[in-house]
């Protein structure tokens, strides 16, 4: 079985996006947002049939861990009620996709984060999505300000109430920012990768996993700069008196931190697997996401990451872990769901 750990609903029906635009306009005008539109099941089916489902079939992906469009989370837009309404609408729409195609998708939720608002306020939506909608994880934004980085580090104790809920519910978080409101940072080319790298460095500097050893984080996009500057992070750990970053001990990171394979060229994937233990790598593609189109050097889609992983010719047991086993382990609610269905 092949599980893609990183999928976003980038093809949501147009009415969903139109409502978001109306919600934003209403907030700016000091008015109430209009009612959320009626979207038929057929519209939901059509939105994934020729996109995600077709590409999954073509590339041999059995199931995608699916969340709302990351760049559209827009936690810097509006205020807390605006973010809460948008998160709920977005999560409910993802749930409808999962309900229509339960063998192909598993839900991961957007959180109603907002700059300056305690992350504890997002616990209720996490609980709703996990306990009522059957979601298997969440996307956690370390920078709700959209590129201005006004939030404390992920290791600050102000995040602990949310982390404790994650542990109670036995779900991981993918560290994932949203759109950039700072013109200095291109959203997908800089802001996303900045956040991935920043999160890892924050984890390296503190004792978060000593305090909360059951926490699990997926750092997407191949870990940002981390695997490609591994010597720098090892050297900084040594200078700071921190454990080796590749340690899976209680004081280390790699018992709790995982990377995906959303790296869009073969040399990058080769280096990722040379540096990082495959036990810490989950297959992911983020297809119909940040990087689309055909690579003129290969003639294949940039985001067909299975092609890159297959080219490694991994031992059978290692490939099975990367493609399936690690996702079941990091997302145990998904593992339990698959086991219950005989998959």
Distances (CA, A) of 306 to 15, 86, 286: 32, 33, 11
Between helix 80-100 and helix 41-48 the angle, nearest 10°, is: 80
Residue 241 CA to residue 232 CA, distance in Å, equals 14
Instruction: Give the list of residues 6+ apart from residue 178 with CB closer than 8 angstroms, or none.
Output: 70, 71, 72, 73, 74, 75, 76, 141, 144, 146
286 is annotated as an active-site residue: yes
**Catalytic-role residue among 274, 286, 324, 339:** 286
DSSP bridge pairs for 68 = 9
| DSSP letters for 165-224 | HHHHHT--EEE------STTS-IIIIIHHHHHHHHHHHHHHS-HHHH-TT--EEE-GGGT
Neighbours of 33 (CB within 10 A): 19
Give the whole-angstrom CA distance, residue 153 versus residue 157. Answer: 9
Q: How far apart are CA 304 and CA 287, in angstroms?
A: 7
State residue 301 phi and psi, 5-degree precision.
-60, 140
CB 282 within 8 A of CB 326: yes
Pairing of strands 3-9, 63-68: parallel
Residues forming the active site: 286
């Amino acid at each position: 079985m092949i599980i893609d750990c990183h999928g976003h609903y980038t093809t949501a029906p147009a009415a969903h996006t139109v409502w978001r635009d109306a919600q934003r306009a209403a907030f700016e005008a000091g008015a109430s947002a209009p009612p959320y539109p009626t979207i038929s099941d057929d519209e939901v089916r059509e939105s994934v049939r020729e996109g995600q489902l077709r590409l999954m079939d073509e590339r041999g992906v059995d199931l995608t861990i699916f969340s709302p469009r990351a760049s559209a989370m827009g936690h810097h837009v509006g205020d807390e009620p605006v973010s809460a309404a948008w998160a709920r609408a977005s999560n409910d729409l993802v749930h409808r996709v999962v309900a229509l195609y339960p063998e192909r998708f598993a839900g991961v939720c957007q959180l109603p984060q907002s700059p300056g608002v305690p992350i504890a306020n997002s616990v209720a939506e996490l609980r709703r999505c996990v306990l009522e909608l059957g979601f298997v994880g969440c996307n956690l934004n370390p920078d709700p300000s959209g590129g201005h980085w006004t939030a404390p580090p992920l290791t600050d104790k102000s995040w602990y109430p949310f982390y404790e809920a994650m542990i109670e519910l036995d779900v991981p978080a993918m560290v994932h920012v949203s759109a950039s409101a700072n013109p200095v940072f291109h959203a997908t080319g800089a802001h996303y990768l900045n956040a991935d790298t920043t999160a890892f460095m924050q984890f390296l500097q503190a004792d978060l996993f000593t305090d909360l050893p059951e926490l699990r984080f997926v750092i997407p996009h191949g870990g940002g700069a981390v695997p490609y500057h591994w010597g720098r992070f090892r050297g900084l750990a040594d200078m700071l008196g921190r454990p080796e970053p590749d340690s899976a001990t209680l004081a280390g990171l790699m018992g709790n931190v995982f990377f995906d394979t959303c790296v869009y060229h073969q040399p990058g994937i080769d280096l990722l697997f040379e540096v990082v233990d495959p036990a810490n790598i989950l297959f992911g593609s983020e297809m119909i996401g940040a990087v689309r189109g055909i690579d003129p050097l290969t003639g294949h889609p940039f985001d067909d990451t299975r092609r890159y992983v297959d080219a490694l010719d991994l031992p059978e047991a290692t490939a099975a872990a990367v493609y399936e086993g690690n996702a079941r382990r990091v997302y145990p609610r998904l593992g339990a769901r698959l086991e219950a269905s005989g998959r």
